[in-house]
Amino acid sequence: MAFTFINPDSLGAPRIIKHNLVAPKGKLLFIAGQIAWDQSQKIVSDDFVEQFDRALANVVTVLSAAGGQPEHIVRLVIYVTDKIEYRERTREVGERYRKHLGKHFPAMVLVQVAGLLDDAANVEIEGMAVLPA
C-alpha cells in the first residue's frame, strides 16, 4: 500500500507540516480530536510538550486499535491555544512526534484557536488514516 507524496519544488522543501500525499483506495479511519487525556479522562500535564505527546499517543492508540500503522495516517489537524509555545518548543515537539509517528509526515494543518473544550487542554489533534482494504 503505497502513498505518493506530492511536494512540488516550486513550494520549496517540505517542512514537517507542509507535506501532501495521495492515498490509494482503502478503508477510511476517522479519529476524533484527541487531547492529552489519560484513561480517566484527566489532562496529564499543564506542559505543552507533554500534552502534545499524550494527544498524539492517543491518536496512535486509536490507529492501532483499528489495525493501522503510523504510515497510514493521511491527515492531522493540530489545534493549539498558544502558537508561540509551539514555535519556541518546536524541537521538543519534533522529538515527541517522531517517537510516535517516526518519519511519516501526512498532510497537516496547525492553527491557533480561541479555545478548546476542556479548559486544561492546550492542544487537540484530529486525524484521518487510510487503512489497507
How far apart, in whole angstroms, are the C-alpha atoms of residue 80 and residue 36? 12
CB atoms within 10 A of CB 77: 15
Q: How far is the CB of 46 from a second copy (least distance, A)?
A: 19
Residues that bind a second copy (CB under 8 A): 4, 6-13, 15, 17-25, 27-34, 37-41, 58, 61-62, 64-66, 74-75, 77, 79, 81, 83, 86-87, 106-117, 124, 126, 128, 130-131, 133
Which residues make Cβ contacts (< 8 Å) with residue 13, sequence separation at least 6? 7
Q: Kindly tell me which of 32 and 102 has the beta carbon lying closer to a second copy.
A: 32
In angstroms, give the least distance from the CB of 44 to a second copy: 12
Which residue type, as a one-letter code, is found at position 56?
Answer: L
